[in-house]
Structure formats: C-alpha cells, structure tokens
Structure 1
Amino acid sequence: MGIGSIIHEITENPRVTDVVEAAKAVRVLTSSGLVDLSKPAHIAAVLRSNRTNGPAVGLMTKAVLEYPDSVAVTDERGSLTYRELDERSDALANALLDMGVSAGAAVGMLARDHRGLLTTVVAAGKAGFNLVMFNTGFAGAQLADVARREKVSAVLHDAEFTDLLSDLDDLPRIITWLDDEPPAGAIVLDDLVARAPRPVPTPASPSRLTVLTSGTTGTPKGAPRGKVSPLGSAMLLDRLPIPRESAAVIATPMFHGTGFALWLVCAGLGNNVVTMRRFDAVTTLEAIAANRAEMLVAVPTMLSRILDLGADEIARHDLSSLRGIVVAGSPLTPELSERIQDRFGDVLYNLYGSTEVSVAAVATPDELRLAPGTAGRPPVTARLRLIDRGEQVVEPGRRGEIFVRCAVAFSGYTDGTGKPMQEGYMSTGDVGHLDENGLLFVDGRADDMIVSGGENVYPQEVEQLIAAHDDVEDAAVLGVPDPEYGQRLRAVIVLRADATLDADGVRAHVKANLARHKVPRDVFIVADLPRNPTGKVMRGALLEMTADSA
C-alpha cells in the first residue's frame, strides 16, 4: 500500500474536483518527507489510524514508527520521546475507559500547552472520545454553558482552573498539571499514566475533535472534526517551512486551530515541539536558542512584545537556527510585518484561515516584502473568491466577502448551524481585496463594517493606520451607535512609554491620511487592550471598558 492509498484518501473527498491539484498535494506530502513511499506498511498504518482514531493518532502512529526515540515535546518539566508520549496516552486512554467514560462520550480539556495536553489529545483519539478543547480564557459561566451544550461527561484540566469548574455538574475530573500538592482525593494525570500501558480497545466509531470558535463577542460555537484528509497536512506544508527532525517553538495556544494543526504536522515529521504554558518574550527567545529551533509559531501581539525587548536583548540570543516565523490568529499589520523582517530577516509567513475553513491563504517572506501585511495566496487545493452583492469580484482593489473552497473545511457547528455557502465556497466572515499581483488583503470582519453618515467604513483600515504611529504600542478601532450619524468609530489606544501623542493628535493623524468620515470621534487612551489567548481583541470587553467614559 502506498501512493495509490493516499490518492484514494484524497480523491474520495467530495470537495476535491481537480485531479491536477490532488497530484500537487501528493507531491507536497512526499517532498516534505511526511509521506515516504519506500515505507508502504507505515503509510497503511497511518491511514488506518486516521480513519479509526483521527489525525492526532494517525500522525503519532507515524512518529512512533519512524522516530520512536526522538524528542516529541519539551516543556517546563523536561522532554518526552515519541515512544514515551505514546505509552502515556495508552495508559490515560485505558484509565478513562476504566473510570466509566465510554467511547463516543464527550470529554472536555481545559489546559495550557504542555505534555499533559498532548497526552490527553492522543489518548482521546485512541479511546474514541469526542474531545472538546476549552479556551483557557473562559469565564466560569461561559465554560459551564459550553460544557452543557457539548454534553461533556468528564473534564481534564490544569489545577489553576479548578475554581472555573464550580458551575459544572458533578463530573469526573483529572488534573493535567500541578504546581503544588494535589487537593485531597484529586485524580492526577501523572498518576494515571504511571500505570503499565496496555493496548487500547479499538473504538466502534471514529473519535472526534471539537475546536471552539474564538467567541470574541459571544458564546463560542463548537466546530467538530473527525477523520481529516491528508490534504490538511499538504495545505500547511505547501507554503510553510515546517522543519523535519528538528525543533519548533509553538507559542500559540494549542486549544485553537493553528497551534494544534502545526503540532500535528511537526509530530509527523519527527520534530521536538517546544511548548510554554504562558508566553514570555525572553523565555521564547531562550527556547529558540536552547533547542536550535527552526520555526516559531506566534500571534502578532507576541511578536510585538519580542520586538519591544529591543535590539540589544534580542542579540543576546543565538537565533541563527530560525528559518521561519509563522504568524496567525489575528491581523498582521503592515508596520509589524516590516519590523519583524527588518529585525529577523526574511523569515516571516502570515497564515490566514479560520476554525471553519482551515487554511485559506499563506503569505511568504517575499510576498510580505512586496506587499506588507498581505495574507498571500491559497495553498495547494484551496481556492478563494471575493463576493460583492452576489457577484464575484475580479478587479484589484475592490472589496468583497471572502469565500473559500477547501477539502478540509468543517461540515457545520455542533448546534446544527453552519456558515454561508456559495457554489461550494464557504464564507470566512471577513471582507478583503486583491492587489494588482493577486495577493489577498483582509480588510476586516464583514459584521464590523459600519455605516457612518451614509459612508461604509471598515474599522481595521483605521486601526492599522493608528497602530503604525511611532507613539502607539497597540490599538483597536470599532463601531458604536451614534444618534446623529447612525454609527461612529471609537479608537482605543495603548501608548508607548515615551509617547507625546494625545486624542487630538490621533484624530489629526487619521485625518491627514484617510477620508474625513474615517476619523474616530471617540479616542480613549488605556493601559492595555483586552485580548484572548489567540491575540484577538475582545470586542465586548472593549465596549465595557469604554462605556462609562463615552
């Protein structure tokens, strides 16, 4: 079993209609080393695991077959090999089954990035659970609402989140990370995985992973995924410099799509994935240097914090191994794009996608130099369209809602709803435009657009202009109701320590560069912006922060 099996896995997907694109995807998989045609037995085992247990177990199967003694993960407690991680996941899967958690049941996980999270993900796949990956930024009531909606029957969580579980029903709980002594009677993952591993019974139906949407304005929705086509890996490998048998520092939270997907592909290529429970700029640079990491995965705010360390502090660390910085999760401003490449060289890759459509576009370093801030082009097998008032946009500069056709797009939320579709293309909910080179720019959320005095305004355009000012450390712009104009712009800004800019200066800066109707009438200077763990501004919290002063 070899290339024919892979092609069958791809072409049986109803969303794949282009045989040429499918062939390109196969070439990406083989040239990257993720698929080794000289090892047909390994290919068969991986495909079988993916069908039965999902992608985490599939790629872990490959890693254990080909890199059993290579380091799989490095966290604050040291390193584990792929063999050790595999054995720990066997023990945990059996322990959960022995506790009465049945195959097919929903299991919730509320954990930061560390060995416990990875062990839980693989164990859930082996046992056939539906793993629901909770956001570590949840409030207690929000967590309880999602847990009940997803019918969670057990929770694995870091000890620091114990108080958040108080609104949950009385469910089995396992602590995945402890900093102190465990509470009396607590069940701790480390104790369960210390048991002798034994084979895990094959589940009757495939496992499922439910990733939650960002939920910056309301309760997050669940986006479930079962078996994933090999195209998911090909889309990442096509335009990203994912290393092989090396190391990658993943600073983005793995409970969300980008960090999780890149961990899976890194595992399939035998990499040491370096994790951290909380982001710290200096610690991140130290991790790159200590592990000779070739790739860093981060969100824009993390990269901004690294740059804020200054040239001297950055130069203290040996970053010569770094071949790629992958940024995702929230918009990359042109100003930050340029600053990163000026400091680290042409190694920046901007990944644009969503929980629902997976990877929509990737910008390479050359494209970011040509058009700073661009989202780039679709990877292999992905296609996108811009739609304006029901018509496809073809001319450069004209805005339209972004629709993506992708073989690994999700099939609907757990509440039965879905995303708008047009001729097989799924809406991302964003608005964008193409430049004269065919490069995509994301202009903002479609539902963020406001009409002020009869003029359409996208807040992100104003936000990026303000963020590029030398005195501004961080900025967010949003629309709020206005009794005279219908809606108006509100800018919320974090200034640098030595800044002299004030609210009138912000308005003057916008007026000098954009049309008058894009000048924010409200300007607030604050100490920090409320962002979720993936770097997105929490719009609801931002409105609450400024409501009393409006």
Structure 2
Amino acid sequence: MPGEWNFADVWEAIAATTPEAIAQVHGQERITWQQFDAAADGIAHALLEAGVQRQDKVALYLRNGPAYLQSAFGCMKAGLVPVNTNYRYREEELHYLWDNADAVAVVFHGEFTETIEAIRARCRKVRLWIHVDDGTFPCPAWAQSYASLAHAAVQRARAPWGRSGDDIILIYTGGTTGRPRGVMWRQHDLYMASNTTDDPPQARLEHVRSRVANAAAQRKTPSGLPAAPLMHGTAYVFAGTILSRGGTLVTLTGRNFDAAELLTTVQRAAVTDLCIVGDAFCRPMVEALDAEPERWDISGLKAVSSSGMMWSDTNKARLLRHAPAVMLIDFLNSSEASGMGRAITSSRQRTASARFTLGRNAFVIDDAGRPVRPGSGVAGRVAVRGAVPLGYYGDPKKTAETFPVIDGERCAIPGDFARVEADGSIVLLGRGSVSINTGGEKVFPEEVEECIKQLAPVRDAVVVGIPDERFGEVVAAIVESAPASDLTAAQISAHVRERLAGHKTPRHVMLVASLGRGPNGKADYPALRQRVADWLKAQASSRETRPQPGMPA
C-alpha cells in the first residue's frame, strides 16, 4: 500500500544519509553502508536477470556473515521474498523446505555444496544457485559466484513491479511439532511490530534520514550483536531492527556458540545491544565472566534482550554484577506474534522470571474466546492484534487456527498460555503444544523448568510428559547440573514439591551432562521426550535382569 514501510526503501535511505558509517562487522571485516547497499544491488540485479517474477522466493542457506543480510536486502530491493533456511537440515528436510516455499533461487555457503548436489536434480523450481566462498568448496559449474555478482552493480536495482509494504518476508519456524511452516509477514507489519524507533506508521523517508543523521551526529547509533544464527527468526528480526535504526550489525564468526568469542566481540566491536535466547546463552556468559572477571570490559552494553525462552532470575542477577548499568529485556514474542509482552530487569528494577507486562495490543482469552479476568487464576492463551502475520505459507487450515478473526480484527494466537494476575501482569505458563495432561490436570513444562532452575547446581532443565497407565502422562525432568555436583533426583523432586502443586512434581528425573539445545537455544521437546523414554526403558530392563534376593547371581 502507498505510504507503508518497506525495509529496502528504509535501508537505501540510511545508506544515502550515512554512506561511510559501518553497517556490518564480521571478524576483521568492516563494511560501510555504501558497500552494504551496493552489494545488495548486485544480488538484486542477478536475480532479476535470472527471470524471476514479483514476490518469488529466494532461500538463504547461509551461516552468519555479511552475505546473509546483503542477500536479504537484495531480495527486498527486487521485490522478492527472502526465505531463511536451517543449515542443520539434511537433504530431505532441505528439499521439503525449498519445495514448500516455492524457492526459485538459493544463496549458499560453499560448505553446503555437497549437500545441495545430492538433491539439486529434484529442486526443479530453482533456476539460480549463488555460491558464497567460505574457503571450503569452490564454486561449482552449476552456480554463480556471489562475490562476482555482489561487486558487479553500477546502478540502483529496480524491479519493474516496484516495492511496497505488502511485500512479504517469509520466516520458517520448526516449532515444537511437525514440519517447518513459513510465517508470512507483510514488510510494513513486521517493521511496525519490531519498530524501536520513533517512526510512525505513515512517516516518510525524510523522517528516517533526519532520525539517522541526528543519531549519527550525537553518536547514538546502536551496534547490535545477535548471538544466535541469523537463520532463526529471533536473530533475523533483531538484525533488521538494528539496521533500520541506522546501526551496525555485528556477527560472530564461530560455527558454534562460544561465550569467550561473544564477550571478546562485545568489547572489541563496542556492542551496545545484545540479543540472546535465554539461559542457553546467558549461563555460559556469566560462567565465563565469573571465572575471569577482569578479562572483559562489557560496560558499553546498554541492553541485553531475550526472546523465545525463559530467562532465570539467577542468571540475570549474575550478569548485572558484571554490567550493572545494562537493561535486561525479556520479550514475549514468537515467529507468529510480536508485542505480546515484555519484562525489564535492571540494577534498580527487578521483575520475577516468567512475569510480563502485556503489550499494548495483547490480551488473554480462555477456551471460549472470552477475556480472562485478572486475578481469576484461569489459564488462557495470549493473543495479539494489530501488526500480525498474514498466516502460514500454503497452509490455510493452520492459518485459520493460529490467526483467527476476533471482534472483526485478525489476531495471532501462537499458543502461549498465561495466567493474568490481579495487577494486570501475566505469568507465562508455557506452550500448549508441549503441555502435559496428568490425571486430567494440565502442567506447563516451563513453569516446572523455571522452578528446577532455582536450584544453584542446576545449569539447565527441560520437562516433558511421559506416558503412564494410571495418569495418562506423568511429569519427567531432564536436568543438567554443574560438573562435580552432588545434586540428586530426590532433591530436585523435593524442591519442586515444596513450591508447586503435587501433580507438577517430576516422577522421573534424568540427570545428564548436557541437554544438547540447538544453536537458537531452544529445546527439541519430542527428541528429549524420546530420550527420557529410552532411559526409563533401559532402567526397567536393568531391573528385570538384576538378581533378586535369594536367587543365584
């Protein structure tokens, strides 16, 4: 629609306003806004010359690095749709994703060349492959060189169909069950949902130029680092927000998360805004800081935000000891909804874990679709109206379930359950898709996980439901404790029983060296449920074969 936001328009305006400012930092690479803009023009020209059509999909099969956002920018310039791709997927998963997304082009790092070659003949919709050199496999004959294309542009890339706020950004999310689904965001809606500037809905690009110029003159432009891979929605949206503020996007070079690399990069690149995913990132950070308190200076950090996973009070307090001036922000967001709620913690303001202030357009409804009365104790689903996605790409049934029309407005209800307190704040209980039904009582794993994490030796915990003949399901916990800890399963169960209802107490506690969370910090609940089931089966088998008293050994 006319007058709406498009990321390409905004970033071009910023590049024209502060061309020599740094847009991207990756290791030793420093890329100015002018270079960022020019590289994206080169990729846009290459896509257009390949004969793409308006809103065709382009898959980004990339690790973190300059090419990721440059490619996304190029897609947006050409009126195309960037599609994130989980680089941990195997051949069948990749083929499913690209086929489901109708991808016509793929930008990929060289290390993935062999994986692509195994399925390339089946990817009949893909007409252009763009190889990003990472020092592994050279550019194959069937692909074009990213570097050659990115440096070839001599003029602004403009598609004949133009751009608009209706252009789509497609964010594929694995969720907790089933195959990945592509969440369709209008660019205008995603811009407004993630807007941390003062850009009103109908402002013009002159407003952006003025805002960015003023921030540059006052040296207030942010330097943002997403700790998770850009292939995940949390990091991707955070990166777009930093760039839309005229800031510098800093990315880590390591293939796996390394707290020492993160802290070193925060100091060296003068990072002001850090995006993590809960304790999976915060805990290694504070452990490194506690072990070597004089090694890193992170006093330049202004904000550390987390989304997609609960963040314990204990680790927040530990981080604040090393950076007392920083603001810690919990966002209750998902790929399907933004602005459901937030919680702010600082040295002067403490907010209990899992407690959020509802967003301006958020509300909680019960099973009948009625608003939950504050203080009633009823668990309801968090919903948000306003700037929400259009739905899931190619999945009208799931779209209707997750994005219903309520009182004449399309809303997003991704499945987060919460209790509304008397003061209007909410206590997050967890996702309904992983809730446990034990004897007719509903248990939300996150509530029990947070309780377990209050024990000092506990480093991480996941709670799942295990089939049970009597109760249907019972609660089981997988707990990762500190090395050399003497914490026992009985102590964990007793701790929970003292603080939560009896039916929420884990009947089974599996102590492990590592939970093995993904790079986005999220737990694979189905896989962990199977892990507990296999452990219980092995235990039962061991008991059956163990000699009984009075029997020969």
Query: Residue in 2 aligned with 1:384?
Result: 363
Is residue 2:198 matched to residue 1:231? no
Identical aligned residues as a percent: 24
8 Å CA contact retained: 1:104, 1:129: yes
Distance 1:447 1:265, change over 3 A: closer
Distance 1:410 1:371, change over 3 A: same
Name which of structure 1's ranges 500-509 and 89-98 shifts more when overlaid on structure 2: 500-509
281, 297, 317: which one pairs with 2:275? 297
Q: Which amino acid aligns with 1:232?
A: A
Distance 1:403 1:432, change over 3 A: closer
Indicate the RMSD between aligned Cα atoms, in angstroms: 2.6
- Greater C-alpha Rg: 2
Query: Residue in 2 aligned with 1:442?
Result: 428
Give the number of aligned pairs.
497
Is residue 2:151 matched to residue 1:194? yes
| Structure 2 unmatched ranges of 5 or more | 200-214, 537-553
Provide, for residues 87-142 of structure 1, a one-character-per-residue CA deviation record: whole Å limited to 9, x for no partner: 01111111222234444322111112210001100100111222211123323322
Deviation at 1:70, TM superposition (A): 0.2
Q: Which amino acid aligns with 1:493?
A: V
Deviation at 1:373, TM superposition (A): 1.5
25, 42, 48: which one pairs with 1:91? 42
Name which of structure 1's ranges 415-424 and 473-482 shifts more when overlaid on structure 2: 415-424
Query: Residue in 2 aligned with 1:532?
Result: 518
Query: Residue in 1 aligned with 2:463?
Result: 477
8 Å CA contact retained: 1:60, 1:267: yes
Q: Which amino acid aligns with 2:455?
A: H
8 Å CA contact retained: 2:363, 2:371: no
407, 411, 436: which one pairs with 2:390? 411
Written as runs of structure 1 = structure 2, the 5 A alignment for 1:192-231 is: 192-204=149-161, 206=163, 207-229=167-189, 231=192
Distance 1:498 1:237, change over 3 A: farther
SS of structure 1 residue aligned to 2:104: strand
Distance 1:433 1:127, change over 3 A: same
Q: Which amino acid aligns with 1:297?
A: C
Q: Which amino acid aligns with 2:501?
A: A
SS of structure 1 residue aligned to 2:315: helix
Deviation at 1:270, TM superposition (A): 2.0
8 Å CA contact retained: 1:384, 1:405: yes
Deviation at 1:262, TM superposition (A): 2.5
8 Å CA contact retained: 2:457, 2:481: yes
**TM-score when scaled to structure 2?**
0.83
Q: Which amino acid aligns with 1:326?
A: S
433, 437, 462: which one pairs with 2:419? 433
Query: Residue in 1 aligned with 2:485?
Result: 499
| Structure 1 unmatched ranges of 5 or more | 1-7, 10-46
Provide, for residues 381-434 of structure 1, a one-character-per-residue CA deviation record: whole Å limited to 9, x for no partner: 523224254432122362433333332201211122311533334312011123
Is residue 2:243 matched to residue 1:267? yes
Deviation at 1:297, TM superposition (A): 1.0
Deviation at 1:478, TM superposition (A): 0.9
Distance 1:208 1:367, change over 3 A: farther
Deviation at 1:235, TM superposition (A): 5.8
Query: Residue in 2 aligned with 1:27?
Result: none
Distance 1:197 1:103, change over 3 A: farther
Deviation at 1:148, TM superposition (A): 0.9
Distance 1:197 1:358, change over 3 A: farther
Deviation at 1:213, TM superposition (A): 1.8
Name which of structure 1's ranges 466-475 and 193-202 shifts more when overlaid on structure 2: 193-202
8 Å CA contact retained: 1:107, 1:132: yes
For residues 480 and 499 of structure 1, the distance between their equivalents in structure 2, rounded to whole angstroms, comes to 26
Written as runs of structure 1 = structure 2, the 5 A alignment for 1:72-83 is: 72-83=23-34
8 Å CA contact retained: 2:77, 2:159: yes
Deviation at 1:368, TM superposition (A): 9.5
For residues 230 and 179 of structure 2, the distance between their equivalents in structure 1, rounded to whole angstroms, comes to 19
Q: Which amino acid aligns with 1:129?
A: L
Q: Which amino acid aligns with 1:344?
A: A
315, 318, 321: which one pairs with 1:336? 315
Distance 1:545 1:221, change over 3 A: same
Q: Which amino acid aligns with 1:223?
A: V
Query: Residue in 2 aligned with 1:32?
Result: none
Query: Residue in 2 aligned with 1:393?
Result: 372
Query: Residue in 2 aligned with 1:317?
Result: 296
SS of structure 2 residue aligned to 1:132: strand
Deviation at 1:177, TM superposition (A): 4.5
Deviation at 1:62, TM superposition (A): 2.5
Name which of structure 1's ranges 489-498 and 272-281 shifts more when overlaid on structure 2: 272-281
113, 130, 139: which one pairs with 1:174? 130
Query: Residue in 1 aligned with 2:529?
Result: 543
For residues 496 and 358 of structure 2, the distance between their equivalents in structure 1, rounded to whole angstroms, comes to 32
8 Å CA contact retained: 1:59, 1:267: no
8 Å CA contact retained: 1:121, 1:131: yes
8 Å CA contact retained: 2:113, 2:137: no
Distance 1:371 1:184, change over 3 A: closer
SS of structure 1 residue aligned to 2:333: strand
323, 328, 332: which one pairs with 1:352? 332
